[in-house]
C-alpha cells in the first residue's frame, strides 16, 4: 500500500535528517546499526510471529509470553548475544514492549545473585539459574507492606541445632503478594524476611528459597503459591502470592556476601548497609529510561495520527485541515514530545552515572552513593508521573479512536502505569529525595560546601552574608536562552528547598516530635523535590545541546529544549513570580513564546517522532503506522475480532430469541 500523502508531505518538509537524531538517541550510528540488526533477527523469525494479543484471553496471553520467553532464551544463546543493552533490545522486540514472566528472573533474581551471593553460593545457584533449571523471582512486597520495607512481616528464624532457617508468614498481611513470575513460572524465590537469631531481630535479609519441585513443578510442602488474579494490565504476567508455614531452608541459603549468620547463630553485620542499594538504584534508573520510551511511543502514535486525521473547518468552504494544524492539538502534544526527548537524555545520563559510580563502589568508594540514591528516587517519581499523565493525554488527543485497543495507547498506558507505584511508591520516593535535600541544606547552613546536583544550595549561604529582600534575588532571565532558563529553574529549586527547610524548622519549634514536623511539612517537601528534579532535567537537556555537532539537528533540539523549559514555567508561574525570578511581564512573554514555538516545531513534528525509530510491530498501533494507512487497516483489524467468527452469536438463540418470542 502506498504511503499516505499527508505523511509523505510532512517528511519531505522536515528541516533535519531524522536518522542523525536517531543516532544521538541510540548513542551513535554503530549502536543504531546493531539495534536494527537485532530487531531484524526477531522480526524475520517465524517463531516469534503470533496473532494480535488483544484478541486472546489472559491464559492464552500468559502461554504466548512463556512460549516466546523460552524461545528467546534459547535464541539469545544461539546468537551469542550477551551485552545487557543487546539482550534488552532483543527482549523488547520479542515481547513488543510488554512485560513477560521471566522479567524478574532476568532483571532481579540473576543480578541479586551476582551482587549479594558469596562465591560458594554463586557456584551452587548461578549456573543452574543461568541455564533456567532454576527460575527465580524476587519476593519482597507483601499484602500489607510494599515501599515501607521495615514493616515487612515475613520471618526467618535461625535454628542452630539443625543449622536451618525456619521461614514463616505469620499473618495474612505477611503473605508475599505481587512478585512477577511467582504465580506459575518460578521454582525459586529470593525472599526478603526479618532475620531472628539468638533471640534478636536483625532486620531484613535475603534468602534463596526453593518453592516448587524441580521436574514436576509442584509446590513444595509448607509452601502455598499461586496467581493473584486479573489486574489493570500485565495480562502476560503471573504476579503471585507466597505463604510459608514453618518452611526450613539450609543456613547456606541466606545471601551472605555482606551480612552473615555463623553456624552457632552469631550474626556478623555488613560493613555498610548502603551496599544493597545497587539493585534498587539500577531498577529506578531503568524506569527513567522506560518513562522516555513509553511516552515516545504514545507521542509517535498521536502525532502521526494527527497528521493523517482531517477534521472540521478552519475556514468555511476549504478542505478539512489536519488536526495537527490546530494550535490546541499542538499545545497538547508538542510539550509531551519535548518531554520525551528530555527524559531520553536524562535516562542516558543516569545510566552512565550509575555505571561510573558502580565502578567506584566496587573499589570501596561510597561517597557518591547517597546523591545517586536520592537523584534516582526523585527522577523515577518525576518522570513516571509525567509520562503516565502524558500517555493518557496522547490517547485523548486521538479522539474516539484512541479508546480502541487498535490505537495501541491503552496497552502502553496499562503497561506503564504501575511504574508509579512499583520499585518505590512515587510520593515516598519524592520524600526520600527531600531527606537528602534537607540534609544538604543543613550542611550549607552550618557553613559546609555541598557538591553535585545540589551545589546550587551553596549560593544560599552567600546570599545570607548580604541580607537582601527575597524579591531582590532576581536573576535576569533571557527567555530565548536555555542556559538562562537553567538559572531560573535553579533559583526556583533553591527557594523551594529553603522554604521547605524553614517550614520544617518552624514545625519543629512548635512540636517536639521530628516525625510529626516532617509529616506536617511533607507537601512542601515533595514540591521542593519536584523543583529539584525539574531543574536537573532542564540542566541536562540544555547540556546535551552543546554535544550535538549537526547544526540542523541542534537547532530542532534547541526548539524542543526551549519548549520544555518554557512550558514548565507556564505551568508553575506562581513559583517563579512569588520568588521574584520572573516579572509579570516576563510571564506574559513566556506564554507567548510557547505558542510561537508550537508553530516553529510544527513542520518537524512527524520527523521528530520518526527519529524515535519504532518499528510498526513494536509500536503495535493501527493509528500510528509509519505508512499512515489508518482507516483501511482499522477495518481489517476489527474484522479479526473473535466476536466476528460467526455471523450470529450463540447468545441470540439462547437469550434474545426466546425473549422476542415471549413478548
Cell output for 288: 527513567
Residues 6 or more apart whose CB falls under 8 angstroms from that of 203 comprise 150, 194, 195
Q: Which of 554, 524, 527 is nearest to 541 (CA)?
A: 554
Contact 409, 398 (CB under 8 A): yes
Q: What DSSP string describes 421-482? A: TTTS-HHHHHHHHHHHHHHHHHHHHTT----GGGGGGHHHHHHHHS---GGGG-----TT-H
How far is the C-alpha of 144 from the C-alpha of 221, rounded, in Å?
24
Provide the 8-state DSSP code for 41. H
> Residues 444, 449, 453, CA angle at the centre, nearest 5°?
90
Please, are residues 198 and 265 in contact by the beta-carbon 8 Å criterion? yes
Cβ partners under 8 Å of residue 377, min gap 6: 284, 424, 429, 430, 432, 433
The rounded distance, in Å, linking the Cα atoms of 134 and 130 is 8
CB-hemisphere CA count at 13 Å for 455? 4
3-class secondary-structure state, position 508: helix
User: Are the beta carbons of 403 and 458 closer than 8 angstroms?
Assistant: no
SS3 content of the chain, % helix, strand, coil (to 5): 60, 10, 30
Q: Which of 423, 487, 507, 530 is catalytic?
A: 423
Backbone angles phi, psi at 39, to 5 degrees: -60, -45
Distance CA 288, CA 298 (A): 16
* CA 474, 475, 480, 484 torsion-angle sign: negative
Question: What Cα–Cα distance (Å) separates residue 584 from each residue in 492, 568, 592?
Answer: 16, 16, 13
Q: In Å, what is the CA distance from 209 to each residue of 134, 189, 215? A: 11, 5, 16
CB contact set of 88 (below 8 Å; sequence gap of 6+): none
Residues 6+ apart with CB under 8 A from 14: 603, 604, 606, 607
| Helix (H) and strand (E) counts in the chain | 24, 11
Q: Burial, 480: exposed, middle or buried (Cβ in 10 Å; 0-12, 13-18, 19+)?
A: exposed
Known active-site residue 423: yes
d(CA 648, CA 653): 9
Cα separation values, 471 from 269, 418, 419, 578, Å: 51, 41, 39, 8
CB–CB of 211/202 below 8 Å? Answer: no
What is the Cα–Cα distance from 37 to 594, expressed in whole angstroms?
39
Biggest CA pair distance of the chain: 91
Grid cell of 161 as nine digits: 541445632
Query: Which sequence positions are flagged as catalytic?
Result: 423
Amino acid at each position: 500500500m502506498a504511503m499516505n500523502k499527508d505523511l509523505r508531505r510532512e517528511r519531505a518538509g522536515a528541516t533535519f535528517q531524522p536518522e542523525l537524531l536517531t543516532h544521538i538517541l541510540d548513542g551513535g550510528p554503530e549502536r543504531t546499526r546493531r539495534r536494527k540488526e537485532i530487531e531484524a533477527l526477531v522480526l524475520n523469525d517465524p517463531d516469534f510471529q503470533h496473532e494480535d494479543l488483544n484478541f486472546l484471553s489472559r491464559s492464552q496471553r500468559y502461554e504466548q509470553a512463556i512460549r516466546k520467553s523460552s524461545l528467546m532464551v534459547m535464541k539469545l544463546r544461539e546468537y551469542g548475544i550477551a551485552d545487557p543493552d543487546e539482550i534488552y533490545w532483543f527482549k523488547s522486540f520479542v515481547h513488543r514492549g510488554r512485560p513477560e514472566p521471566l522479567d524478574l528472573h532476568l532483571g532481579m533474581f540473576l543480578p541479586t545473585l551476582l551482587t549479594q551471593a558469596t562465591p560458594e553460593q554463586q557456584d551452587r545457584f548461578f549456573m543452574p539459574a543461568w541455564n533456567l533449571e532454576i527460575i527465580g523471582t524476587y519476593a519482597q512486597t507483601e499484602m500489607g507492606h510494599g515501599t515501607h520495607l521495615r514493616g515487612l512481616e515475613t520471618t526467618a528464624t535461625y535454628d542452630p541445632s539443625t543449622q536451618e532457617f525456619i521461614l514463616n508468614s505469620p499473618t495474612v498481611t505477611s503473605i508475599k503478594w505481587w512478585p512477577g513470575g511467582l504465580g506459575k513460572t518460578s521454582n525459586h524465590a529470593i525472599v526478603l524476611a526479618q532475620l531472628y537469631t539468638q533471640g534478636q531481630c536483625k532486620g531484613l535479609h535475603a534468602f534463596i528459597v526453593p518453592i516448587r519441585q524441580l521436574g514436576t513443578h509442584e509446590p513444595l510442602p509448607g509452601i502455598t503459591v499461586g496467581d493473584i488474579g486479573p489486574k489493570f494490565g500485565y495480562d502476560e504476567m503471573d504476579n503471585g502470592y507466597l505463604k510459608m508455614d514453618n518452611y526450613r531452608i539450609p543456613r547456606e541459603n541466606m545471601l551472605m556476601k555482606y551480612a552473615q549468620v555463623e553456624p552457632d547463630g552469631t550474626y556478623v553485620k555488613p560493613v555498610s548497609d548502603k551496599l544493597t542499594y545497587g539493585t534498587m538504584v539500577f531498577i529506578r534508573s531503568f524506569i527513567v529510561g522506560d518513562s522516555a520510551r513509553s511516552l515516545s511511543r504514545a507521542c509517535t502514535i498521536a502525532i502521526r495520527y494527527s497528521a493523517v486525521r482531517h477534521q472540521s473547518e478552519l475556514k468555511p468552504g476549504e478542505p478539512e485541515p489536519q488536526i495537527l494544524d490546530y494550535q490546541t492539538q499542538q499545545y497538547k502534544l508538542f510539550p509531551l514530545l519535548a518531554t520525551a526527548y528530555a527524559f531520553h537524555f536524562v535516562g542516558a545520563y543516569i545510566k552512565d552515572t550509575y555505571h561510573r559510580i558502580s565502578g567506584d563502589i566496587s573499589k570501596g568508594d561510597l561517597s557518591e552513593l547517597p546523591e545517586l540514591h536520592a537523584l534516582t528516587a526523585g527522577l523515577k517519581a518525576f518522570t513516571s508521573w509525567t509520562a503516565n499523565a502524558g500517555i493518557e493525554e496522547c490517547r485523548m488527543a486521538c479522539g474516539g479512536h484512541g479508546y480502541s485497543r487498535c490505537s495501541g495507547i491503552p496497552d502502553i498506558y496499562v503497561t506503564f502505569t504501575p511504574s508509579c507505584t512499583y520499585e518505590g511508591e512515587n510520593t515516598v520516593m519524592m520524600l526520600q529525595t527531600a531527606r537528602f535535600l534537607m540534609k544538604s541544606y543543613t550542611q550549607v547552613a552550618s557553613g559546609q560546601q555541598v557538591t553535585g546536583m545540589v551545589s546550587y544550595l551553596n549560593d544560599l549561604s552567600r546570599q545570607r552574608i548580604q541580607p537582601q529582600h527575597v524579591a531582590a534575588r532576581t536573576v535576569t532571565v533571557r527567555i530565548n536562552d536555555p542556559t538562562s532558563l537553567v538559572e531560573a529553574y535553579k533559583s526556583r529549586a533553591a527557594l523551594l528547598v529553603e522554604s521547605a527547610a524553614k517550614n520544617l524548622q518552624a514545625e519543629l519549634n512548635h512540636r517536639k516530635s521530628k516525625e510529626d514536623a516532617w509529616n506536617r511539612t511533607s507537601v512542601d517537601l515533595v514540591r521542593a523535590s519536584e523543583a529539584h528534579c525539574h531543574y536537573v532535567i532542564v540542566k541536562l537537556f540544555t547540556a546535551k545541546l552543546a554535544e550535538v555537532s549537526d547544526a540542523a539537528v541542534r537547532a530542532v533540539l534547541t526548539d524542543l529544549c526551549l519548549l520544555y523549559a518554557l512550558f514548565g514555567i507556564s505551568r508553575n508561574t506562581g513559583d517563579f513570580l512569588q520568588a521574584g525570578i520572573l516579572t509579570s511581564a516576563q510571564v506574559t512573554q513566556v506564554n507567548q513564546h510557547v505558542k510561537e514555538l508550537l508553530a516553529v516545531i510544527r513542520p518537524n513534528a512527524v520527523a521528530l517522532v520518526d527519529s524515535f525509530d519504532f518499528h510498526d510491530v513494536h509500536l503495535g498501533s493501527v493509528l500510528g503506522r509509519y505508512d499512515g494507512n489508518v482507516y483501511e487497516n482499522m477495518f481489517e483489524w476489527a474484522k479479526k475480532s473473535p466476536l466476528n467468527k460467526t455471523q450470529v452469536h450463540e447468545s441470540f438463540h439462547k437469550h434474545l430469541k426466546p425473549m422476542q418470542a415471549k413478548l
